Amino acid sequence: MPEMTAYYAPETRVMPLTLIRRDRMLPAAGEILVGPGQRVEASDVVARAELGGQFRTFEIARLLRVPPAKAVRYLKKGKDDEVKAGEVIAGRTGLAVRPVRSPVDGVIVDVDERDGRVAIEVASRLFELRAYVKGVVSNVLGRLGVVIETPGALIQAALGMGGESFGVLRSVSESPDEPLRASSFDIRAHGSIVVGGSWITASALEQARQLQLRGMVAGSIEGDSLEAARKMPFPIIVTEGVGRIRMAAPIYELIRAQDGREAAINGETQTRWGIVRPELLIPLPAETRPPLPPAVGAPLTVGARVRVVRGPHVGHVGTVAAIPPRAVRIEIGTRVYGAEVRFSPASTAFVPFANLELLR
């Protein structure tokens, strides 16, 4: 069946210099502490909010032994009033019925007059939102957050664990093929984001915890180490996936070239229903404002830079040399459409479209 038409591959951004924009959003409306045009460091608190979400309810009527409809008249506090732990919220004076005291600090958020029930939202904790990336506040989004902008390098990874962090990049591998082992880094890496080449070993994770790293970046991580990696107190991102896969050479070279610079790392990963990709951002000085990342949706064409994401050439980067007009039979016996990818002047291979992504 002649099915050969344009193919639109998934895309990964690996850009030495682009305009990075990040929305920094509070989980709930709060206070914005910076203004447009203000320069911020990664560690600066740019907004804060009080977070609640824990509740206690009290059946005032039952506790005071009054009909539900009459309970409200014995309330000592009203809706939106703050209460302290031990403070009386309802009581009948002069009678041998114990008053109702709040067991917690909080705010009365609901008074159900029909049921004679009161709800308290437990005192909130203060949430502080940091800038995460060094740059300039380009916009303030009401009471919800800000936008921070900076020229810099942008590397989207495949998988991440942990949240956000920032620190100085420290490349410790001699090549993208070199695994990240405990012996790869020492006390000098304390407080930095360590960058390896190929996969992260279990011993490296333990060493990283002891040295209180700010983050780890490598090509991959073994399946056996995933659980341990998720428990690390800092973010980890891998550029290729799970297994023993070397870091794609252009990514390795890009990060290595920025060794010693401050970077922001985010391990948050969501693979569907609102995709979130882990990333490494390296703010860079730029005399002129660089362009934003290009729009997506370009079909795969000859000359495009692609990365192989599955199969025998996984992790290799090359350029599309040709797009055969017919489906090609692969090892498992299926005929699939794909591209001839040139990895080096002497090395070309057919790769199914499904196992390619555009690297831009």
Residues that bind another protein in the complex, under the rule CB under 8 A: 1-6, 8, 10-11, 28, 53-57, 103, 109-110, 115, 119, 121, 158-159, 222-226, 241-243, 269, 271-275, 296-297, 309-312, 330-334, 336, 352, 354-355, 357
Nearest 5°: phi and psi at 284?
A: -135, 150
Please, what is the minimum distance in Å from the beta carbon of residue 124 to another protein?
Answer: 12
- Judged by CB, which is closer to another protein: 27, or 163? 27
Instruction: Give Cα 24 to chain centroid, integer Å.
Output: 12
Half-sphere exposure of residue 214: CA atoms within 13 angstroms, side-chain side: 22
Please, what is the minimum distance in Å from the beta carbon of residue 343 to another protein?
Answer: 16
- Judged by CB, which is closer to another protein: 6, or 187? 6
- Judged by CB, which is closer to another protein: 207, or 355? 355
Residues whose CB is less than 8 angstroms from the CB of residue 11 and which lie 6 or more positions away in sequence, other chains included: 296, 357, 358, 359, 360
24: tokens are 């920094």
Residues whose CB is less than 8 angstroms from the CB of residue 180 and which lie 6 or more positions away in sequence, other chains included: 172, 173, 194, 196, 197, 198, 199, 200, 201, 204, 216, 218
Please, what is the minimum distance in Å from the beta carbon of residue 295 to another protein?
Answer: 8
Instruction: Give Cα 67 to chain centroid, integer Å.
Output: 52
Q: How many beta carbons lie within 10 A of that of residue 185, not counting itself?
A: 24
Please, what is the minimum distance in Å from the beta carbon of residue 92 to another protein?
Answer: 22
- Judged by CB, which is closer to another protein: 145, or 167? 145
Please, what is the minimum distance in Å from the beta carbon of residue 171 to another protein?
Answer: 24
- Judged by CB, which is closer to another protein: 4, or 95? 4
- Judged by CB, which is closer to another protein: 187, or 295? 295
* Cβ atoms of 304 and 319 closer than 8 Å: yes
Residues whose CB is less than 8 angstroms from the CB of residue 305 and which lie 6 or more positions away in sequence, other chains included: 250, 317, 318, 319, 358, 359, 360
Instruction: Give Cα 153 to chain centroid, integer Å.
Output: 17
Please, what is the minimum distance in Å from the beta carbon of residue 21 to another protein?
Answer: 14
Please, what is the minimum distance in Å from the beta carbon of residue 200 to another protein?
Answer: 13
- Judged by CB, which is closer to another protein: 171, or 355? 355
- Judged by CB, which is closer to another protein: 64, or 169? 64
Exposure string over 296-305, b if 16+ CB within 10 A, otherwise e: eeeebeeebe
- Judged by CB, which is closer to another protein: 115, or 261? 115
Nearest to 314 by CA among 281, 341, 333: 341
Please, what is the minimum distance in Å from the beta carbon of residue 347 to another protein?
Answer: 17
Please, what is the minimum distance in Å from the beta carbon of residue 327 to another protein?
Answer: 12
